[in-house]
Every structure is written in structure tokens, then in C-alpha cells.
């Protein structure tokens, strides 16, 4: 049995049609398969590899930490330098009110922690979320995601979770003194890059402030320069009470975080004591890698190039079968007429038939299967963007003669 067959047999599957791409190694914005063929990476492990794969500074930081210690104690007990330094660096790059970092293992756990924090602080239960949002697959996060197709098989879920319409002024009126928190993505990723109206987001923030509900922004995909600023909320003149991070946070290793003011976060320390704990959250290797990745992102000025690269994609991706392009930085949804057409284009981009071809790794969006995902490492070169766009256009023509 070959490795692919063993993968299908022994590694639990999440869909009937996995990409089943046999990865050998990854470098910058390029993936290599087992036969040495190369692929421009347009998805970066789904918004994780913002500074590319195998960045030498990240690898050095991991090696240095490897020589010291791995897991030594459950989260929150020992003073672990990688956690402390990373929390200090993150909070220095955030508004003053976001000064205390709770590290988790994943994005979904950050969502769970933030929802518990909101309940603990407000003593209320209602969680307001939005249709078309993705927040993760654990039961609390699943309760919050805004698509009934994914929720319905797993009921009963969390009670008192409301799903309102994103960008809908009626949502503002629905928030009141019974609301524990309003949880939303600053930009809806899995709906195919839906950007909020700035006035609506501001009104939402203000309604949270006036009712005492916590305003929680999920930037698990949107953060770390993806939109052309370090944090997506910087585009909108709002500041969340709680910021959720994950994906690129760990520089390629698993890490999530919810970040709030210390006076809020301290409420997790008693009544009950140890009411929110994790064994591996804030793992020293993940924190060392994440800090090195964040420093590289900033020092090497990758965010500065995002808008020009977005524009280059938009200039090159003109084709009558692309119905629209929604983009926010190096984060784009190419909309086709239907999911089947989109899938054929994606499959053709990945499928290398001539060994001299350079393939293209891309994907669709969970709630927008008719849209092709473009979210490459921010260090993708102009030449690779040209290669990628040429391949997408050729794939469209090959599937639609």
C-alpha cells in the first residue's frame, strides 16, 4: 500500500475528497511534492504561513528553544520566557486596553475562552454572532458559526446563541443589556472575503460599550498583515474588548490566543479558581516560533508590499468567467458562476500534466464553494504572482473551451 492509500485508510478523514497532496517540503511560497514538482502556494496552509514556509529566523528560534525545554508545566504556572516575551511583544503592538494574553492551542480554543470570559464578566448568557461567520469546530465555536448546514447534525449546541445578519443595521438594535458578547470576524473569511461597512462596525462597537456586552473580534485569519495592516480592525477605527488570534500567530506551530485588558482577564483567576486551564496552551516552541515570525514580518516589511501585490493580482486576473473579485489585501475570493466550475479550475491548477509546468495550490471557501481562495504567504514574489495568475487563466480556459 502506498503512502496515499495509508493516509486514506489510517488518518481520519474530514471529507470524501481530500486534496491528498503528497507534500515533501515547503520553502517560502513554494510547495514541493514527492516527485520534486513545485507549486506556487496560494493558500499558505489557510492563512498560516504569512512569512512563508521554513523562514530561517523561525527555524533558528525553534532550534534554540529545543535545546532548553519543551513542555514543563500546565499553562499559567511557570514563568516561561518564550510566552512572556511573546505576550510582551504582541501587547506592545496593540492598543493599550489589549494588554493581557491568554495563550491557547488553537483558534477554536481562543473562541471558547473568550465566550467564557464574556459570561464570567457580564453574568449574562446571550452570545450574538453572525450568519456567514466561521469560528471553529469545537462545540462552543460551532454554536457560534453562522451556517446551519454545519451546525444541524450536532445539536443540542450552546443555548442562547443568536445569529444575526452581518452588515445589517437591525443587528445593532438586537444588542441589549442581556447580551454577554458580540462575536464576529472583522472580515468574514469563509463567506469569501466579506468586508464590513465601517459605520456599521463602529455602531456595533458603540452599542457594545453602552450595553456592557463584550465586543469580540475574531482575527484568526485576518491578523498578521493579511489585509495590509498588522490587525484588520485598524482599518475601521474600532478597538475590540477581546481580540482572537490563531493561525499565523504560531509561525507554523499550533497556537491561539485571546487578548483583553488585564482587569477583565483577571476574572478568570477566581470563582472558580482554575476555571479556564489548558495543558499545552502557549507551548514554548510555538511561542518562540510565533515571536520570531512576528518579528520577521515587521522587520522585513512584508506588510508594506501587500497592497501593491493585491493590485497586481487584480490587474492580471481579468477573464469573462471570473464574475467578481472580492479582496482585502493579499486575501481574495475569485467568484465563478457555480461551485462546479470553481472546483474544476482549482483541480486543473493543482494538476501538473507536463513536468515543466509549475503547479498552483489553491482551494475554495467553506461557505462560498463557488469562490477560489487566494491567500498566499505575504512574501510571494511578483514573478510568482504572474505565474499564478497565468495558470488560473489557463485553467479557466482549459475547463471551459
CA distance 272 to 116: 12
C-alpha span between 47 and 197 (Å, rounded): 23
Q: Which of 246, 251, 284, 290 binds ligand PLP (CB under 6 A)?
A: 246
The Cα 120–Cα 272 span in angstroms is 10
Complex with ligand PLP: residue 194 or 317, whichever CB lies closer: 194
Regarding 186 and contact with ligand PLP (CB under 6 A), the answer is: no
Q: How far is the CB of 183 from ligand PLP (least distance, A)?
A: 10
The residue of the chain with the least Cβ separation from ligand PLP equals 107
State the nearest-atom distance from the C-beta of 190 to ligand PLP, in Å: 6
Among 189, 248, 293, 374, binds ligand PLP (CB under 6 A): 189
101 vs 395 by CB, closer to ligand PLP: 101
CB-side neighbour CA atoms (13 Å) of 340: 1
Contact status: 142 vs ligand PLP (CB under 6 A)? no
Residues 288-327 that bind ligand PLP (CB under 6 A): none
Only segment of 76-84, 134-142, 317-325, 353-361 that touches ligand PLP (CB under 6 A): 134-142
Contact 127, 115 (CB under 8 A): yes
Task: Decide: is 218 part of the binding site for ligand PLP (CB under 6 A).
Answer: yes
DSSP 28: B
Residue 135 lies near ligand PLP (rule: CB under 6 A): yes
In the complex with ligand PLP, the residue whose CB is nearer, 283 or 391, is: 283
- State yes or no: residue 258 binds ligand PLP (CB under 6 A): no
For the CB of residue 152, give the shortest distance to ligand PLP in the complex, in Å.
19
The 93-132 site mask, x for binding ligand PLP (CB under 6 A), equals -------------xxx--x---------------------
| Main-chain dihedrals φ then ψ at residue 106, nearest 5 degrees | -150, 170
If the CB atoms of residues 14 and 356 are measured against ligand PLP, the closer one turns out to be 14
Quote the CA–CA distance of 330 and 324 in Å, as a whole number: 16
Beta carbon nearer to ligand PLP, 41 or 218: 218
Q: What is the DSSP string of 185-243?
A: ESSBSTTTSBPPPHHHHHHHHHHHHHHT-EEEEE-TTTTTTTTSSSSGGGGTT---SEE
The residue among 111 and 332 lying less far from ligand PLP, judged by its C-beta, is 111
Name the segment binding ligand PLP (CB under 6 A); options: 55-63, 78-86, 213-221, 392-400: 213-221
Residues of this chain, 38-57, that bind ligand PLP according to CB under 6 A: 46
Identify whether the C-beta of residue 241 lies closer than 8 Å to the C-beta of residue 215: yes
Give the strand order in the sheet containing 359-361. Answer: 23-27, 30-33, 38-41, 359-361
Q: Which of residues 10-29 bind ligand PLP (CB under 6 A)?
A: none
Contacts of 298 (CB under 8 A, 6+ apart): 93, 230
Beta bridge partners of 163: 129
CA-nearest of 15, 65, 41, 26 to 374 is: 41
Q: Which span sits near ligand PLP by CB under 6 A: 92-100, 218-226, 228-236, 346-354?
A: 218-226
**With contact defined as beta carbons under 8 Å apart, do 267 and 114 qualify?**
no
Closest CA to 220 of 254, 172, 197: 254
CB of 366 to ligand PLP, least distance (A): 8
**CA angle at residue 131 from 128 to 134, to 5 degrees?**
90
How far apart (Å, rounded) are the C-alpha atoms in residues 336 and 370?
5
How many Å apart are CA 117 and CA 179, to the nearest integer?
13
Which residues lie below 8 Å from residue 197, measured CB to CB, with a gap of 6+? 167
**Nearest distance from residue 263's CB to ligand PLP, in Å?**
26
**Sites for ligand PLP among residues 322-361 (CB under 6 A):** none
Using CB under 6 A, pick the residue from 41, 80, 185, 335 that binds ligand PLP: 185
Nearer to ligand PLP, 52 or 223 (CB): 223
Residues forming contacts to ligand PLP in the complex (CB under 6 A) are: 46, 106-108, 111, 134-136, 185, 189, 218, 220-221, 246, 256
Amino acid at each position: 500500500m502506498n503512502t496515499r492509500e495509508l493516509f486514506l485508510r489510517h488518518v481520519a478523514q474530514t471529507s470524501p475528497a481530500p486534496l491528498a497532496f503528497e507534500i515533501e517540503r515547503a520553502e517560502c511560497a513554494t510547495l514541493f511534492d514527492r516527485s520534486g514538482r513545485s507549486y506556487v502556494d496560494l493558500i499558505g496552509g489557510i492563512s498560516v504561513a504569512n512569512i512563508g514556509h521554513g523562514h530561517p529566523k523561525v527555524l533558528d528560534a525553534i532550534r534554540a528553544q529545543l535545546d532548553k525545554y519543551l513542555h514543563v508545566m500546565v499553562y499559567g504556572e511557570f514563568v516561561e520566557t518564550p510566552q512572556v516575551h511573546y505576550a510582551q511583544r504582541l501587547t506592545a503592538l496593540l492598543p493599550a486596553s489589549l494588554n493581557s494574553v491568554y495563550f491557547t492551542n488553537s483558534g477554536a480554543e481562543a473562541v471558547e475562552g473568550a465566550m467564557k470570559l464574556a459570561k464570567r464578566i457580564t453574568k449574562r448568557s446571550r452570545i450574538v454572532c453572525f450568519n456567514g461567520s466561521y469560528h471553529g469546530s469545537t462545540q462552543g465555536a460551532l454554536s457560534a458559526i453562522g451556517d446551519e448546514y454545519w451546525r444541524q447534525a450536532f445539536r443540542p449546541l450552546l443555548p442562547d446563541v443568536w445569529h444575526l445578519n452581518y452588515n445589517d443595521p437591525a443587528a445593532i438594535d438586537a444588542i441589549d443589556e442581556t447580551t454577554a458578547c458580540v462575536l464576529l470576524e472583522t472580515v468574514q473569511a469563509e463567506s469569501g472575503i466579506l468586508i464590513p461597512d465601517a459605520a456599521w462596525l463602529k455602531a456595533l462597537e458603540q452599542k457594545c460599550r453602552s450595553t456592557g456586552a463584550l465586543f469580540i473580534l475574531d482575527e484568526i485569519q485576518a491578523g498578521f498583515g493579511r489585509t495590509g495592516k498588522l490587525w484588520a480592525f485598524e482599518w475601521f477605527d474600532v478597538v475590540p474588548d477581546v481580540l482572537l488570534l490563531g493561525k499565523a500567530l504560531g509561525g507554523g506551530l499550533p497556537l491561539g490566543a485571546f487578548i483583553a485588558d488585564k482587569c477583565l482577564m483577571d476574572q478568570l483567576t477566581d470563582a472558580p479558581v482554575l476555571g479556564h486551564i489548558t495543558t499545552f496552551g502557549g507551548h514554548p516552541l510555538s511561542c518562540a516560533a510565533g515571536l520570531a515570525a512576528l518579528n520577521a514580518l515587521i522587520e522585513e516589511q512584508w506588510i508594506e508590499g501587500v497592497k501593491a501585490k493585491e493590485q497586481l493580482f487584480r490587474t492580471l486576473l481579468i477573464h469573462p468567467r471570473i464574475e467578481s473579485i472580492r479582496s482585502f489585501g493579499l486575501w481574495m475570493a475569485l467568484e465563478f458562476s457555480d461551485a462546479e466550475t470553481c472546483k474544476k479550475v482549482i483541480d486543473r491548477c493543482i494538476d501538473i500534466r507536463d513536468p515543466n509546468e509549475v503547479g498552483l495550490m489553491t482551494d475554495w471557501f467553506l461557505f462560498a464553494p463557488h469562490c477560489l481562495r487566494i491567500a498566499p504567504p505575504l512574501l510571494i514574489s511578483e514573478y510568482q504572482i504572474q505565474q499564478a495568475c497565468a495558470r488560473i487563466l489557463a485553467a479557466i480556459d482549459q475547463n471551459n473551451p
